[in-house]
Amino acid sequence: MQSTENQGKLWEVFIQAKPGQPFKHAGSIHAYDKEMAIENARDVYTRRNEGIALWVVPSDAIVAVTASEASSFFTPAHDKVYRHPTFYDLPDGVKQM
Amino acid sequence: MKKAAIDEAQLLKEFEEKIEAEVKIEPRDWMPDAYREHLIRQISQHAHSEVIGMQPEGNWITRAPSLRAKKILLAKIQDEGGHGLYLYSAAETLGVSRDQFLQWLHEGKAKYSSVFNYPTLNWADIGAIGWLVDGAAITNQVSLQRTSYGPYSRAMIRICKEESFHQRQGYEIMWKMMEGTKDQQRMAQDAIDRWWWPALMMFGPHDTDSPHTSNAMKWKIKRESNDRLREKFINKTVPQAELIGLKVPDDQLKVVGKDQMGEPMYAHGDIDWDEFWRVVKGDGPCNKQRLDHHINAHENGKWVRECAYAYQIKTNNQ
């Protein structure tokens, strides 16, 4: 997998737009090492001050749920409506909670 | 993934329900082979166009008439390279490698927009490209922001944010020339005379002659037809030409009504389809030059890729 092919391996790019905000996935780039990856990410994804911080992550280090497993994988959340605040009744007198 | 007996008809039904409900298709979702193949062809052609499109403009970097103009042109061309990279990344999510896309381009199996096979003869052409060629590309790309494939849609949204500077800088060049000397005005008119029709050709064949349109519309890869987009572009652009005193080189152009916003709508002449197909099939003024240049740049850059790889191995800096 690691060779000169494909202009280096694949990295995923995450950008933080402003302090306090979460990092968001922006896209991917190719690079041969960490330093090249972070510089390529800067040049490709932040030419107009889109971010104040950057992460690059080797794509093969990301663990994901496969599409075919997804529906059963997330089933445990389906029948727990009591986790949402709207599940609960409140007496009429309560103004804010 | 060897799940036995997944019913393909059921998968297709679920896929088409998602398309119907405007739910984006993501790389790991099931999709019909024909959908995948259409996207591979369309997105890679789009990526190649961004990258090959750097050549006609690059021709004028060293001869830009001012430092301001040079910095703007450099920034624009860098954007085009970036747009190519967004699109290659989107295309790679369909399971084809970056090298494979380049190989198909170099073998002539993949196409790029024919408009880049026309030469840039003088500085006014840089104005005409930004205004007309990028203007046509934007019309298409705004529509493609709503394409059904998630990675392609996200790339289009990012690209559209960046493109409007491209069109404005081109229009500014044309406007400044039309405010200038008689010679500058002649240059600007000559540029629109040469670029108007190639820009209209960018929207592709008539819908009735477009072999890939029907599936692409059904599956919402394309959201508007070639002819519809071409008309949108003409209606938007003709008033811009007239405002700065340029004549659009189409004798049959005339106002035939107004749209809901009160803006004029035009009837227009037809493209020279013989020329269109000649250039698509490889016989335009610069087809060979553009491809040769890309192949040479790729081959001459091989030592850089080898050095970068050797450094990665040596430092174990992965």
Which tens digit of pLDDT belongs to each residue from B140-153?
A: 999 999 999 999 99
Write down the pLDDT at residue B4: 45
Q: Which of B115, B123, B163 is nearest to B141 (CA)?
A: B163
Q: Which of B233, B227, B229, B235 is nearest to B267 (CA)?
A: B235
* Cα nearest neighbour of B317 on chain A: A33
Helix, strand, coil percentages in chain A from 3-state DSSP, rounded to 5: 30, 25, 45
Kindly report the nearest CA distance between residue A67 and chain B, in angstroms. Answer: 6
Which tens digit of pLDDT belongs to each residue from A27-73?
A: 999 999 999 999 999 999 999 989 999 999 999 999 988 777 888 88
Kindly report the nearest CA distance between residue A90 and chain B, in angstroms. Answer: 36
Contact B306 A6 (CB under 8 A): no
| Confidence tier at A3 by pLDDT (50, 70, 90) | low
Question: Looking at the complex, does the CB of residue A49 fall below 8 Å from at least one CB of chain B?
Answer: no
Task: Report the length, in residues, of chain A.
Answer: 97
| Confidence tier at B6 by pLDDT (50, 70, 90) | low
Q: Which of A54, A36, A57, A35 is nearest to A45 (CA)?
A: A54
**What backbone torsions phi and psi does residue A16 show, to the nearest 5 degrees?**
-100, 120
Write down the pLDDT at residue B317: 56
| Confidence tier at B267 by pLDDT (50, 70, 90) | very high
Residue range(s) defining the domain that contains residue A74: 4-87
Which tens digit of pLDDT belongs to each residue from B280-296?
A: 999 999 999 999 999 99
Q: Give me Rg for the CA atoms of chain B.
A: 21
Q: Tell me if B125 sits within 8 A of B115, measured CB to CB.
A: no
Residue A79 located in a structural domain: yes
Write down the pLDDT at residue B3: 53
| Confidence tier at A1 by pLDDT (50, 70, 90) | very low
Average pLDDT over residues B201-212: 86
Residue A97 located in a structural domain: no
State the Cα–Cα distance between residues B146 and B151, nearest whole angstrom: 11
Q: Tell me if B131 sits within 8 A of B176, measured CB to CB.
A: no
Kindly report the nearest CA distance between residue A43 and chain B, in angstroms. Answer: 8
Which residues in chain B have their CB less than 8 angstroms from residue A57's CB?
A: none
Average pLDDT over residues B178-199: 98
- pLDDT above 70 (res B88): yes
Residue A8 located in a structural domain: yes
Residue A78 located in a structural domain: yes
What does the mean pLDDT of chain A come to?
A: 89
Q: How many domains does chain A have?
A: 1
Q: Which of B54, B45, B40, B96 is nearest to B280 (CA)?
A: B45
- Prediction ipTM score: 0.84
Consecutive H or E run containing B10? helix B8-20
Residue A92 located in a structural domain: no
Count CB atoms within 10 A of the CB of residue B34: 12
Q: Tell me if B200 sits within 8 A of B253, measured CB to CB.
A: no
Question: Looking at the complex, does the CB of residue A57 fall below 8 Å from at least one CB of chain B?
Answer: no
Residue A94 located in a structural domain: no
The fraction of chain B above a pLDDT of 90, given in percent, is 87
- pLDDT above 50 (res B235): yes
Contact B317 A34 (CB under 8 A): yes
What does the mean pLDDT of chain B come to?
A: 94
Token pair in block for residue B38: 């259409």
**Dihedral (CA of B272, B274, B277, B278) sign:** negative
- pLDDT above 80 (res B183): yes
- CATH number for the domain spanning A46: value is 3.10.20.520
State the Cα–Cα distance between residues B88 and A28, nearest whole angstrom: 10
Phi/psi zone of residue A53: left (φ > 0), alpha (ψ -120 to 50 degrees), beta? beta
Residue A35 located in a structural domain: yes
| Confidence tier at B7 by pLDDT (50, 70, 90) | confident
Write down the pLDDT at residue B43: 97
Q: Tell me if B253 sits within 8 A of B238, measured CB to CB.
A: yes
Residue A30 located in a structural domain: yes
The contacts of residue B316 (CB under 8 Å, 6+ apart) are none
Which tens digit of pLDDT belongs to each residue from B147-173?
A: 999 999 999 999 999 988 999 999 999
Which of A4, A47, A67 has its CB closest to that of B306? A4
3-state secondary structure of B238: helix
* Residue in the block written with tokens 């997804």: A70
Write down the pLDDT at residue B214: 76
Q: Give how far Cα A10 sits from Cα of A7, A30, B29, B291, Å.
A: 9, 5, 20, 26
State the Cα–Cα distance between residues B159 and B171, nearest whole angstrom: 19
Q: Tell me if A45 sits within 8 A of A13, measured CB to CB.
A: yes
Query: pTM (2 decimals)?
Result: 0.91
Number of H helices, E strands in chain B: 14, 2
State the Cα–Cα distance between residues B71 and B75, nearest whole angstrom: 6
Q: Is B97 exposed, middle or buried (0-12, 13-18, 19+ CB in 10 A)?
A: middle
Write down the pLDDT at residue A4: 67
CB pairs under 8 A between A and B: 71
Kindly report the nearest CA distance between residue A83 and chain B, in angstroms. Answer: 26
Substitution target from A3, A28, A35 for chain B, most B beta carbons within 10 A = A28
State the Cα–Cα distance between residues A71 and B192, nearest whole angstrom: 55
Q: Which of B85, B71, B118, B168 is nearest to B286 (CA)?
A: B118
